[in-house]
Copies of this chain bind each other. A is one copy, B any other.
Amino acid sequence: MPEAMNGAESLVRTLVAGGVEVCFTNPGTSEMHFVAALDRVEGMACLLFLFEGGATGAADGYGRMADKPASTLLHLGPGLANGLANLHNARRARSMIVNIVGEHATYHREYDAPLTSDIEALAGTVSAWIRTGTGADAIARDGAEAIAAARTAPGGIATLILPADTAWNPGGGIAPVPAVPERARVSDDAVAEAAAALAAGPALLFLGDRAVRGAGKDIAARIARKTGAKLMAMQANARIDRGADSVPVERLPYPIDQAIAALAPYRRVILVGATRPVGFFAYPGKPSVLTHPEAETLTLARPEEDQIEALKRLSAAVGAPEGLAGTRLPRPALPGSERLEDDAIGQVLGALIPEGAVICDESLTTGRNFFAATHGAAPHSWLQFSGGAIGLGIPLATGAAVACPGRKVVNLQADGSALYTAQALWTQARERLDVVTLIWSNRAYAILRGELANVGAHNPGPKAVGMLSLDDPPVDWVSLARGYGVAAERVETLPAFTDVLRQALSARGPFLIEVVL
């Protein structure tokens, strides 16, 4: 007699029926029934990570590229805690994730066993929706509602906490996913106000979310051409589709003085999928809000609203013509210089980024010019580190590669940040994922050297300088990558970088290049 479907199997079948095809996991005892159910159900790939931050960052990368949720599977409070930093980034990117966290059996929690902790409190800091399962017969329905919650615009993290007995007791069968509401249409007033602002003088269309994907930028560019407005993207964006065939749009700079200067000319700032530009950090004597003190900020479309449709209506309201004059940029050439410097590296990237690539950018200081240098590169998607929690790049690239098996993934990666979650390289090796990781090995928290001065901590002494230095001992990235089973090479000159990158891009499978700066 076949066993009845248990709660775990009912949940896995519900996830698969609801379009959740991948589980990024680092499981433990309380998740064993979910893991076992994966073998009884077709249609759910399961990828193991050595550290939970890899799994959650991969779910973020997958969500950004697939526009649908993957699931995670994490082990109680500490497993969730290890994944929280990248869930924080995913929340800021508004990635859809069905975040499943194992928990003690319902009746066991009161005994305060060693792993017991307040999972809901942890999950509350990153989740758009949270539920703790109460019974195996309802856990499939809980999972179906989690899928709907994750997919509801603007997209978010739905955390389903799964007590072990809701997995092992008899389940209630597959549950249908509730209807997900369409993105809301913006009001006529919002369009009219934006049109009036554009008519009043130099305005800024500040773009984020869906407005920086293909159609959004094209329509915004038509509006700008008609009205004289300037286009600018947020400092950090979940995904920008860009390259030679699309409108080049600069981003708000990260350094606060540059950001204030970039926004200074505009007295009207129109948000389209973007949030108001504020300082990444506070700095003594500098403002939190970065727009000009007299600037008015208005919203055409919030992130959860239909930004493309709003842009179309605004385009019509201002009478922007259809079609766009040729914006095709020349493909960047390889640099003439031989020096391995940031600008030259940007030029190499502009020349070599392959068509259809997915760029996962956690370059920080090294990469400040890479975006500008790659406007004319072959068409690609550019995924940024979005919530300020460093350690996203390697996991993000891993998840993007799972979502896009036919596209080359290139991870532009600061060394200090890479060291938080380098374990995800092992998953790239295990899954033979097509990711090239470029480590900018400056052996420092270079960004903090500038920040020491920016916050007014001048003349740092040896202890402070030591806290920003990673050169004693230098991390040997080639050894580290090989330790995780990923082939790697070190380059110290621009020609070597160009050659090795070209080879890595033409091969398949994971490869890491330590670029010594």
Contacts and interface: CB of A to CB of B under 8 A. Distances in A.
A32 B285 CA distance: 16
Contacts of A114: 92, 236, 280, 386-388
Interface string A442-471: 000001100110111100111110110010
A111 B289 contact: yes
Given A419-B50, A448-B27, A115 B77 contact: no
Interface stretch (A100-108, A212-220, A263-271, A348-356): A100-108
A294 interface: no
A206 interface: no
Contacts of A448: 27-29, 32
Contacts of A107: 282, 288
Q: Which of A48, A122, A165, A389 has the most chain B CB atoms inside 10 A of its CB?
A: A389
A22 to B, nearest CB: 12
Interface extent on A, as a size class? 35 or more
A33 B461 CA distance: 12
A181 interface: no
A35 interface: yes
Contacts of A479: 479-480, 482-483
A513 to B, nearest CB: 15
A104 B463 contact: no
A36 B282 contact: no
A125 B463 CA distance: 32
A467 B115 contact: no
Given A111-B288, A389-B115, A475-B426, A81 B92 contact: no
A473 to B, nearest CB: 3
Contacts of A289: 111
A84 B78 contact: yes
Contacts of A461: 36, 38-40
Contacts of A455: 29-30, 32-33, 164, 168
Contacts of A126: 117
A278 interface: yes
A48 B118 contact: no
A348 B126 CA distance: 47
Contact of A467 (B46, B81, B452): B46
Interface string A468-501: 0010111111111111110000000000000000
A479 B164 CA distance: 38
A472 B420 contact: no
A104 B282 contact: yes
29 contacts: A27-B467, A28-B448, A29-B448, A29-B454, A32-B448, A33-B456, A33-B457, A35-B457, A36-B460, A39-B460, A39-B462, A51-B419, A77-B88, A78-B389, A79-B389, A81-B125, A82-B391, A107-B282, A108-B281, A108-B288, A111-B278, A113-B279, A115-B280, A121-B125, A168-B284, A426-B475, A476-B483, A479-B482, A479-B483
